[in-house]
Chains A and B, each alone.
Chain A
Amino acid sequence: MNRLHPRSAVLSVARAALQGGFFGFFGGSVGTGMLGLPAFAVPLLGLLGALTFGGYALARYFRFRYELDGDTLTVESGVFARQSRQIPLGRVQNLDVEQNILNRLLGLAIVRFETAGGSATEATLDAVDEAEVKRLRNYVRTHDRDEAAESAAETAGAVSGTATSGRSAHADLPGVTGPTPAHTGDAQTANDFEDSASASDTEPRDQPDGSLLFAFDQRELLTYALVSVRPAAPVLTLASLPLGMDVVWAVLRFNATLVGASLNGPVIRWLASSPESTRLAVFAAISLVQFLLLALVVSVALTVIEYYGFRLTQADGDLRYERGLLRRYSGNIPLEKVQTVTIRENVLMRRFGYATLAVETAGYSGGNQQSTQGVAVPSRPARKCTNWPVTSNRSATSISTARRSAPVGAISRAFRWRRPDSPQSPTPSTRWCLRQATGGSPPSSFSRSCQRHTSAGDTAASTSMTRSWRPGAGSGGGQRALCRTTGSRRCSSRGRRSSAAVTWRPWGLTRRVHQACSAASLGCTTSTRTPQKNSETRYGTGSPHTLQGCGQATGATRTRSQPRAHSTIRPYTSSVASASPSPTRTSAFFARVSATLIRR
């Protein structure tokens, strides 16, 4: 079993002792004031607090051990309540590394392991040195690769017996890179990607740092920072204004003189004395513009700090990112763990040909968006949302003719959103979630489909099933079934928020959101119908995503049968599950997207 790095012990003990000291000091001063303790009790209590907290931190350090062994990460922790945790490495969604400034000076890093379970980070190693980070990362990565090779071999073996066409197409996939000629269902897409995929094939496989997919240079970063509007920036600016109140008053005073007010006192008195309305309006406009400019500067600064030195690389089955000016973040995202791919663009971005490509895994719980890796990619406007499922091919073609828009075109093409009954429908490849919307069987009741999933043991997304009943209710009636799916909770709560944030953003800056999710990772689906007659279908995965205004095209959108629109959650039906791809398919898709990114 390994311990954390000794330097980190020094750091955490010092931090805890400082906290404890402050606590004791504060308690002591309150005590002398209210309870009449003698004056020397203050430093004494401070010392006591420092010793207690520091001692506890030291004990925690000595109780914390971890080990990577075989295919498991074991973590033992806890001073009073002891905990021993085992995480199968195959379940690790992300491995993230964070270095704040202090850690960077000491050559340490905080390593976090995320799995899809639980609401907090599953294992935090705070902190280890950089050589150990490398070792952990390599260990997890090589384990994943061995695992993938193993399972691919297994699938191939199993399929050679039964050999349905769709399945064999899956088996023919060589790992994560690109399609093969035998993969007929996806032939068109295959052609589109062939050159790029083979280009990525020629990359040496065991290259330690992988191939660079994307990196910002300074100018691009600045452009991206300018065009990506952060809604948090005005709020942050407003909140921090009171800190510089003198400056604010001075600026307001200057504005007032600018509009020609005769000042002989503070600005507030001039405002209170009800000046002429035109002057007031001009004054307000000037102040507002100044505020917005300030907010823009804050927004740019935040974005630059967050994305400084962004690099996205691909090494075998993993995406690897690093970013950050003050705090450096880096991490590995195994491709087969990717739940959704999102392309987002606002008006400004569209004008300058940028978009954000976000990748999400199931590893992060609510609020922690640090996994969503935003990348600016060149893009081009396309059709409205209502046209997506029907005209995606057309718009995709128009996109692909544009010179600098490869990634968006690639993703749109890979979607292949169309009705399953259309003659040229390439069945095995229409694997994305819209397929479910157009071709899903009629929704059964929640509990029934839930049970079917667990009993059939198919690829449904329910994570566990619970039945409960009360005494007196027989085995037939009065039961309650509860399906937990990967995304159910987010579908119900965060999903709604996300839809408000993404599709109904009040000032309409974010217009278009493309999202892809693999059907295998689909957790549940929510259909709602808003008072404005906009049908909307929601797909829960590790993260929610929403399609709005696509009602007619997405056939599964239910209309009137739902008593409470927002809370309806149902797992996707098994007919779709049978058509769902293996995780390797997800990686194949991703490899293609990445390959296209390389081409650029």
Chain B
Amino acid sequence: MCGSERFQFRSGAKPLIRGRPLDSDMESLHPRVRLLWVLSTVIQASVLGVIAYLVDRFAVSLPQTVVVGGWVVLVLLGVAHAIAAHRIWRFDLQDDALFLLRGVVTRTDTSVPYVRVQHVDTTRGPVERAIGLASVVVYTAGTRGADITIPGLRPERATELREQLRDLANESEATDAV
């Protein structure tokens, strides 16, 4: 996993930092997750658009080109972000921890020791179900922000991953579980 000299460029992604685990061996998300992200951007941009329309109607008048242009720019940015995020997103089940690489502007890598995993969810929201994807959510001990989501998995893979994580959490129990 940590052979730092073996640079491979698969699916166009670059290794993030020298000396970090290479992402080439790691699993990436299903390509359709980009559609999911783009859709959510479209929804957000449309909400903003509606707000702009209401502002235009009831308060200050806005030039129409700005509203439409803003919407288009936002959606384009969202598309670019979704593509980049999908290229960067990697995760891997290591020996003792779940390892994740993500983030476009702010890169984040997270390792979650299995021994700290409390429980595991698969969730499928309405949009995800329409697209045919599922997410896995891993909860660690702690109160807020202690959950880690892996989006954009095929449902079968999500179930499999959930069961894998459950088994790994169970195995690591004897040592130092919370």
Interface residues of A (CB under 8 A from B): 71-72, 78, 80-88, 90-91, 115-119, 122, 147, 150-151, 154-155, 362, 365-366, 454, 457, 459, 461-471, 475, 484-486, 488-490, 520-521, 542, 583
Contacts and interface: CB of A to CB of B under 8 A. Distances in A.
B23 to A, nearest CB: 15
A117 B142 contact: yes
B40 interface: no
Contacts of B107: 468-471
B121 interface: yes
Contacts of B169: 88, 91
B18 interface: yes
Interface string B113-126: 10011111111111
A366 B143 contact: yes
Interface in B107-166: 107-113, 116-126, 129, 139-148, 159, 162-163, 166
Contacts of A520: 176
A465 B97 CA distance: 10
Given A83-B121, A91-B178, A117 B106 contact: no
Contacts of B96: 457
B144 to A, nearest CB: 6
Given A80-B126, A83-B121, A90-B173, A463 B144 contact: no
A489 B123 contact: no
A71 B140 CA distance: 18
B170 interface: yes
B140 A464 contact: yes
Contact of A81 (B116, B125, B147): B125
Given A463-B178, A470-B106, A91 B120 contact: no
Contacts of A117: 117-119, 139-142, 146-147
- Closest 9 pairs (CB-CB, A-B): A117-B118, A117-B139, A116-B141, A151-B174, A463-B116, A463-B140, A87-B119, A115-B118, A468-B108
A115 B112 CA distance: 17
A486 B176 contact: no
Given A91-B169, A465-B111, A467-B109, A489 B126 contact: no
A362 B141 contact: yes
B interface secondary structure, majority: mixed
Which among A366, A465, A521 has the highest number of chain B CB atoms within 10 Å? A465
Which among A365, A465, A484 has the highest number of chain B CB atoms within 10 Å? A484
Contact of B120 (A85, A147, A151, A466): A85
Given A81-B123, A81-B126, 15 more contacts: A82-B124, A83-B124, A84-B121, A85-B119, A88-B166, A91-B118, A117-B117, A117-B142, A118-B143, A362-B178, A454-B97, A463-B178, A464-B146, A464-B148, A484-B146
Contact of B18 (A84, A463, A475): A475
A151 B146 contact: no
A interface secondary structure, majority: mixed
A467 B103 CA distance: 11
A520 B124 CA distance: 36
B3 interface: no
Given A72-B166, A85-B121, A88-B169, A365 B174 contact: no
Contacts of A90: 170, 173, 177
A359 B96 CA distance: 31
A151 to B, nearest CB: 4
A365 B143 contact: yes
Contacts of B108: 466-468
Nearest to B126: A80
B59 interface: no
Which among A81, A116, A464 has the highest number of chain B CB atoms within 10 Å? A464
Interface in B73-113: 96-97, 103, 105-113
B143 A468 contact: no
Contact of B146 (A78, A85, A118, A475): A118
Contact of B119 (A122, A151, A542): A122
B105 A471 contact: yes
B178 A486 contact: yes
A467 to B, nearest CB: 6
B174 A150 contact: yes
Which among B117, B143, B169 has the highest number of chain A CB atoms within 10 Å? B143
B19 interface: yes
A383 B26 CA distance: 59
B143 A466 contact: no
B60 interface: no
Given A86-B162, A91-B169, A475-B19, A489 B119 contact: no
Nearest to B139: A117
Nearest to B121: A85
Nearest to B145: A484
Nearest to B124: A82
Contacts of B175: 459
B119 A484 contact: no
A84 B159 CA distance: 9
A464 B110 contact: yes
Contacts of B19: 475
B18 A82 contact: no
Contacts of B112: 463-464
Contacts of B116: 462-464
A106 to B, nearest CB: 29
B113 A454 contact: yes
B66 interface: no
22 contacts: A71-B170, A83-B124, A84-B121, A84-B159, A85-B121, A85-B122, A86-B119, A86-B162, A88-B173, A90-B173, A117-B117, A117-B146, A118-B118, A147-B173, A154-B174, A464-B148, A465-B110, A467-B110, A470-B107, A486-B142, A489-B142, A521-B178
Contacts of B147: 117-118
B102 to A, nearest CB: 10
